[in-house]
Structure 1
Amino acid sequence: MIAIVGSPIIGLFLFVLCKANFRTNDPYLLVVHYDKDADSEVQKALPENKLRSRTVTSAGVELMVEVRMKAKEASSVDELLKIQGVKDASLVSYNADIS
């Protein structure tokens, strides 16, 4: 009797949880190529992030960081291009799961 009543209630609860949008900000990889002289300005302009890779060559710096933001905030990456010395900036959708 309890199983007959409880199963639909649990099913309804799980359905509501699946449909509710409890997602936080989505993870993205932000890749920025810039001249060494622009390093401090780029660091100030970056949102809160987790460093994934930093490569320094004679041609400049490639910085790869994991950032979390909503998709509609992705246009904020355009602000990086306004910094003198920034060559390009790419934002890539990122799933941290390793298969």
Structure 2
Amino acid sequence: MDTVNFDDIFKSSILEKTSSFSIVDSVIGLLAAFIIGLLIYYVYKKTFSGVIYSHTFNISLIIMSMATALIIIGISSNVMLSLGMVGALSIVRFRTPIKDPMDIVYLFWAIVSGILCGAGFIPLVIIGSILIGGVLILFGSRIRVENPYLLVVRYDETSIEKSMEHIISKHVKKHSVKSKSIMPGDDFEVTYEIRVKENDMSFINNISNIEGVKSAIMLSYDGNFTA
């Protein structure tokens, strides 16, 4: 008959689970994820070519790689924890829209790096990240995304529309009317999507000088427009 002593009664399951993984390996995995996250941070900042640079999104790439590594380290040492983690993550819903396809690439890069660091494939993630970063920097420096602009003109007579169209057609590569509306006071407002030639925006002064034009505003945007 087995006897029960005080050690069996006060045995801590937490200590048993703690001894099932290596603290040194866990620290090395997290440090590797942090270093790779810094590399992703640098590459994203250097190659960003969108409208508005988001520093918080870039910082989140570092945290995402470390958090993913932490999850992999945890579930690799406990089968029950891995099943519970899958169930917990299945109810998570991300509401923030990702409009730039390159942002999805960096998110995927951060997640994959965290998985490999947590699994202990540190040499693989180092070699892969160096190659991926080199490709992004190489092509990012050669490819320049030509972001369109919105030109919003407010005027009081429809007869000046031909003059505006003539000036715009002469100075821009491509343009199209996105919206046109009648404002209070019988004023008109038209919104053009335009692509300028070599960042030449001097034509907006010519439009402003047209008699009957009350305002002319140019805005940079990411290509998404809701009328």
Q: CA offset at residue 36 of structure 1? A: 1.8
Choose which of 123, 129, 135 in structure 2 pairs with 1:13.
135
Relative contact order higher in (CA < 8 Å, ≥ 6 apart) = 1
Tell me which protein shows more helix as a share of its residues: 2
Which of the residues 176, 201, 208 maps onto 1:50? 176
One-letter amino acid of the structure 1 residue matched with residue 194 of structure 2:
V
Say if 2:215 is the partner of 1:93.
Answer: no
Gap runs ≥5 in structure 2 = 1-123
Bigger share in strand? 1
Query: Aligned Cα RMSD in Å?
Result: 2.7
How far apart, CA to CA, are the structure 2 residues paired with 1:88 and 1:10? 46
The structure having more radius of gyration, on CA atoms, is 2
Contact 1:55 1:61 (C-alpha < 8 Å) held by counterparts: yes
AA at the equivalent of 1:67? I
* Residue 53 of structure 1: how far off its partner (Å): 0.3
Note if contact 2:147-2:223 (Cα within 8 Å) is conserved in structure 1: no
SS across alignment from 2:201: helix
What do residues 24-82 of structure 1 show as CA deviations (whole Å, max 9, x unaligned)?
Answer: 53211100011222121112122431211011356232000111126741232111012
Could you state the TM-score of these two structures normalised by the residue count of structure 2? 0.35
Secondary structure, counterpart of 2:143 in structure 1: coil
% identical aligned pairs? 26
Change (3 A) 1:64 1:97: closer
What is the letter of the counterpart of residue 25 of structure 1?
A: E
Q: Distance in 2 between matches of 1:97 and 1:37?
A: 30
Contact 1:26 1:70 (8 Å CA) reproduced: no
